[in-house]
Structure 1
Amino acid sequence: MKQVFILRGLPGSGKSYYAQSLADELVAGNESDYVVCATDDYFYNSEGVYQFDKFKLPEYHNLNLARFINALAEEIPLVIVDNTNIKKWEFIAYAQAATALGYQVKEVIVGEIKDKSLQHLYAKRCEHKVPLRMISKMAYMFEW
């Protein structure tokens, strides 16, 4: 069965950890049987340092969507979208492409969105140093 998981959640909520755990569970971590598509991947420079640039975000989202569609076209059994996906429109193209190509699609919300104490925790553990005020703003804007 071909599956797509679209992860949604605040920065620091554990989406990337969840994605890897899911791959380990469903395909035993066999790298040829899954792809994790994360826009964050494009913000790493050649030395492996994460450098966020808000002006590159639209371009990198498009590159991530293209990588996702390529994985579907290659019929990779498990494809995971690891983005915040705060608004529904942010992941609708992923869901529609997957459905059109015969994949079962599951939307997974990782972590608690509205819990203020957890937002503090997410800000502390977020690898990309997203500030608490931005995480709180994203929680407020989250579409169910």
Structure 2
Amino acid sequence: MKQVFILRGLPGSGKSFYAEQLTDELVKGDENQFLICSTDDYFYQEGSYQFDKFKLPEYHSLNLARFIRGLAQEIPLVILDNTNIKKWEFLPYLEVAHAMGYQVKEVIVGDIKDKSLQHLYSQRNSHGVALKTISKMAYMFEW
């Protein structure tokens, strides 16, 4: 069965960890059987994460293209690991996955509205996203 998981959640909520757990559980970590697509990957320059908001549209397009290539190669498990705060952000992924015969599951990782968890997420996210930004993202989250 071909599966796509669309992960949604705040920075630091555990989306990347969840993605790794899925690959271990569903395909035993076999690198030929899964693809994790994260726009964050494109912000790494020489091993260092360097966020540039002006690059977001380009990097989101590159990530979508990588996702589509993975589906075209019929990789059994493809995971979208982005925050996906607004529904329009993951709609193209959802539509192409359905069009290419994949079963799609949307997963919200972590608790979006819990203020104490937002504090935890701001401390443990690996990209230095501030609490103020995380709280704003939580407020804007579309269910």
- TM-score normalised by L of structure 1: 0.99
- 1:36 aligned to 2:26? no
- 1:86 aligned to 2:52? no
Percent identity between the aligned chains? Answer: 76
Task: State the Cα distance separating 1:37 from its structure 2 match.
Answer: 0.1
Deviation beyond 2 Å, 4+ runs, structure 1: none
CA offsets per residue over residues 42-77 of structure 1, 9 Å max, x none? 0000x2000000000000000000000000000000
- 1:58 aligned to 2:57? yes
Superposed, 1:103-122 pairs within 5 Å as 103-122=102-121
- 1:96 aligned to 2:95? yes
Aligned length: 143
Q: Residue 49 of structure 2 aligns to a residue in which SS?
A: coil
Give the Cα–Cα distance (whole angstroms) in 2 for the partners of residues 27 and 137 of structure 1.
Answer: 36
User: Structure 1 stretches of 5 or more lacking a match?
Assistant: none
Give the Cα–Cα distance (whole angstroms) in 2 for the partners of residues 26 and 20 of structure 1.
Answer: 10
Q: Residue 111 of structure 2 aligns to a residue in which SS?
A: coil
Q: Which residue identity does 1:129 align to in structure 2? A: G
Q: CA RMSD in A?
A: 0.3
Give the Cα–Cα distance (whole angstroms) in 2 for the partners of residues 81 and 100 of structure 1.
Answer: 16
Q: Residue 48 of structure 2 aligns to a residue in which SS?
A: coil
Task: State the Cα distance separating 1:35 from its structure 2 match.
Answer: 0.2
Task: State the Cα distance separating 1:23 from its structure 2 match.
Answer: 0.5
**2:26 match:** 26
Task: State the Cα distance separating 1:85 from its structure 2 match.
Answer: 0.1
**1:125 match:** 124
- TM-score normalised by L of structure 2: 1.00
Give the Cα–Cα distance (whole angstroms) in 2 for the partners of residues 28 and 63 of structure 1.
Answer: 27
Give the Cα–Cα distance (whole angstroms) in 1 for the partners of residues 116 and 9 of structure 2.
Answer: 15
